[in-house]
Structure 1
Amino acid sequence: MPSHLSADRPAGRSPSGDSPVEALIARTRQLRTDMDAVRRDTESNGSDPEDRWQRALYDLALHHLEDLDEHLAQLREGPPPAAGSPEALPASPASPDAGPAPAPGRIGSAEWELLTDEVRWSAEFYEILGMDPTAHALTLDELPSLVLDEDRPRLTVMVTDCLVDGRPIDGEFRITRPDDGTVRTVHMKGEPVLDADGNTASMWAVLRDVSELRRHRREVSETRDSLRRGRPARSGQGLVVEPQEAVLPPWHGFLRLPRQGGPGSLELAAHRLPSSAPGGPAGGDWYDACELPDGETLIAFGTLTGEPAAVASGTSMLIGALRGMAMAGAPPGRTTVWLDDLLRGSALQVSGPALCCRYRTGTMTLRWSGRPAPVLFRDGAVLTLRSPGGQAEAEQRLEAGDLLVLRTAGLVTGVEAEHRLTALAGSLRDESSAQAAAQVLADAFGGDRSRGTGCFLVARVHDRHG
């Protein structure tokens, strides 16, 4: 089988003068325009769950078409030169000829030679992985260094099956981009390249970022589940599920702060626990984290109770006020008191506890105020932390490998819950990522949510650069 990087050919032209690819691009763009017009005609105020489900499906279909249009455009352009070749070297930032970065949805190409250890990546492959295009392309042994710990076995199986058994590669895994620390989901397809004797000589693959596609699919699934549970507008339950998600921070599941990483940085992951009872009440849990101008990291968590629509509005108000206070330099103790005053003075008729923390990477020091206090896991043990009252603050020096858990009030309280947390300490110690630790907690406590939802925010202290 010829090399993928050199085997692609622009499609030949049809008798009419337009290539088949050009015709497909025109049809795709017309379909996208028509679908977008239908979507706009069906827009509503979003209060009806069936309308939300339809809108989510339209968005998913449009995203598929946008990706298809981008892929067809790449076919029209022909195969890209491998990164590092003279024609593929990136222009200097100061050069007026510097082109835009590869657009989302573009596909990167790569090939790994097994006998010579030569690796060739296209510029798009570097861009998708968030790597400097002048850096050396990673070997198959080095590639897992970008992959989340829990997804590495999946990649290993795909590559081994390809090289040993000659099976095609077709699967997804999550990576952490070195340039900005964000986690993205990528889809890889590839095949082995055989020599004259039928032995595997190399492996080629194409890669694309499917993070947005997966997000749209989750939205479709969530709105479908909402429909199955019954119309929230009639029952008064569940109405806040979609608005609540909409006002939470845009990073939702994963974040690294400070973004440049390094020892002492925090890897954060959030996990929401839906009610285990059909039609159960919606949750008013909220969380936030961001990097502050003074170099500290803000972490906050809270729970609101009240009417669903008021909870969603209150969440948006609190997160905005919280960030404003933190950016202005307000300490945690003062911030929690002000947030409480803000709730009591509003007309939303919502209430609930809040916890505000500030973390300084250089000294690995955490200061906090509010409730419930964080739970600290260290070396397989649980360290009990307390929150002072009023504007007073508590302080704790963290260590590399520490796991900090912020959680819904009432989710892990009481003697029995304390014992269960202690029993989980060993399992959490063995998890190398915040996301995996959050999943352990979700598995342990998810079955308890017969009376409502719950939420965890997990922060792990890094002990290495990355």
Structure 2
Amino acid sequence: MPSHLSADRPAAQPPGRGSVDALISRMRRLKGDVDAVRRDTHGDGSDPQDRWQRALCDLALHQLDDLGAHLAQLRDGHPAASPAPEPSAAEPPPPDGGSLLSRVGSAEWNLLTDQASWSAELYRILGRDPAAPPLTLDELPSLVLDEDRPQLTAMVTECLVDARPIDGEFRVVRPDGEVRTVHMMGEPVLDTDGGTASMWAVLRDVSELRRHRRAVSETRDSLRHHRQREQTEHRLAVELQEAVLPPWRGSLRLPHRGPETLDLAARYLPSAVGAPIGGDWYDALELPGGETLLSVGDLTGHGVAATSGMATLLGAVRGMAVAGTAPGRLMSYLNQLLDATVQPALGSAVCCRYRPETRTLTWAQAGHPAPLLYRGGTGRGLPAPHGVPLGATSGAVYGQAEETLDAGDVLLLYTGGLVPGHSGSPRAGEADSGGGTAARNPLLDLAPRFAEARSAQDCVRLVVEEFGESEREEDACVLVARVIG
């Protein structure tokens, strides 16, 4: 129905048809672009970021649909110029995805005659029989939810008494029990004396719009909660890692008692792609009798679970090494421990015992890159004894190997994430310096520079310079032991 105007306001002239058509064309192009963005949002719905993005796109598309219908109505002129047939009482309400024109109605309440007139669209919105008389202002609150009635009453009172425009929302209950959200905008119509003669209003069903906005809000809250949880877990994982890994930074000389025989340095390298902290570790520990424990390892997974599992394994390694358990048997016990955990996991590790009196390195591995030995400007991978990954099979037996070191030798232990695309060193029987049956380990190319290094810390620095900034998908650890006596 036409909107009434106060006596002192001239009627606005309708916009030109061409300008409205241009706006409609721009709106349609924009809708196509938004729809393309939505289709590009992949995922199975498990990622909060994806859910939030899709909800925003759905809301934008819904609002563009409404805008398009608004512009079409503006272009075609007021419905009064081309009246539509009245719906029958049996006609079902239009679906939520219908045009905006089926969800916008108008009404006028005459205060002098106490008569009301409703458009056909308003009957549809409220689910009322078109043959029934329209409700008066006193009867209208009967359709509204109890908690929303005070708001409707206040809006109507302010309009009639204070001549204020109406702009607010309330929820109505249709005869079929469905609850819909209605946005009401209106103004008082003044007589020549300035008194309120009637009130007109446009009522729009915004239920679907509110549903989309709730979806955006809920997914945004879910995304915020997910990020906060990730930040908390990352902080806990970092704190746990820092509490468990050796506190020394820079070089360490062992043993503390007696002649120093090993110069040690290590570094933890986080993932280059920003993945959560993993379960990598390094360790060097003086054992009873003057021997030294060297170990590195990696537990699958990320976050607090992986870091806490790493702490458990590292504690077990230290305890068994102090008790005198040989590396091969130690790996068997670690495998049993991981196999018995509630949450299944896989791990890899290298464990070495160095005896300074004989410069003997006794070691074992579990599915892990073998140590690299650098001597006289060249490097090679130590032939690895048999050893499956930790947790891969029950009752696994692990082999053990020995290597005699010389003064000036450099031993490099590392986890698999250090060198992308290279899983480890050659096994027994494979070429150890390239050109044979195994791909050459790029870490071996550091041998000439290691020969010129004056400390284990210098060697670690060289490794970090070459591989610390590479595009690693996983975090990594590197431990260097330099024989000094």
- TM-score, normalization: structure 1? 0.46
Bigger CA radius of gyration: 2
- TM-score, normalization: structure 2? 0.45
